Amino acid sequence: MRNLCTEAPTIMPSAVAEQQARRRAIAQLLEHNTIVRQAELVQLLRAAGVHATQSSVSRDLKDMGAAKLNSGYSLPELHRDDNEQQLKAVAEFVRDIRTAGPNLLVVLTAIGAAQRVALTLDRLDWPEIVATLSGDDTIFIATTGAAPQRRLRSRLNEKLRKATS
């Protein structure tokens, strides 16, 4: 009889490898094509011999930080070492930054861009940011207190202003 409490769980390397291959293919397709609908992306993936369903593509796009813009899906720039470049890549999507209480900033973005902007903010690794939570066009940023909230709002406004000028 198997002891399920002491045995290591079985990892399905084929599923992980399949997901990684699909995500690499998605990144390449989005880089070289204008894709407005997930169904288009599923068709292109299948044509390239990559197994994909609408639900797997939807999950991949979300996990990859893709934003759906009027011009189609777009992935965030992945220059982890260059904070200025990251902010420049998403600055055009930020509409407003507001305070909500002493520990919360609310960032309003273009429709469909909040996850991409939040991912960029998370990657900045700024000490004022405790966590981000994003929806479709709104991001909540938790800060460590009122003073860090003010610093963060000022810092974001300054960096975003520079990026768009």
Question: What's the token pair of residue 8?
Answer: 């290591």
What are residue 105's DSSP bridge partners? 99, 141
pLDDT digits (tens, 9 = 90+) for 55-109: 999 999 988 888 887 788 888 764 444 666 778 888 999 999 999 999 999 999 9
Q: Would you tell me which CATH number, out of the four given (3.20.20.80, 1.10.10.10, 2.60.40.1170, 3.30.1330.10), belongs to the domain 13-74? A: 1.10.10.10
Cα separation, 30 vs 56, in Å, equals: 16
Q: Which of these, 31, 159, 29, lies nearest to 91 by C-alpha position?
A: 159
Q: Which of these, 21, 24, 119, lies nearest to 62 by C-alpha position?
A: 119
Residue 53's CB: how many other CB atoms inside 10 A?
12
**Average pLDDT, rounded, for the chain:** 85
CA distances from 117 to 97, 108, 136 (A): 12, 10, 11
- Rounded mean pLDDT of 129-145? 94
- Rounded mean pLDDT of 127-149? 94
The answer, yes or no, to whether residue 51 has pLDDT greater than 60, is yes
The reply to whether 13-74 and 83-164 are identical in fold is: no
Question: What's the token pair of residue 39?
Answer: 């169904």
Q: Are 134 and 142 in contact (CB under 8 A)?
A: no
- CATH topology for 83-164? Gyrase A; domain 2 (3.30.1360)
**Domain locations along the chain:** 13-74, 83-164
Cα separation, 8 vs 18, in Å, equals: 22
pTM for this prediction: 0.56
The answer, yes or no, to whether residue 8 has pLDDT greater than 60, is no
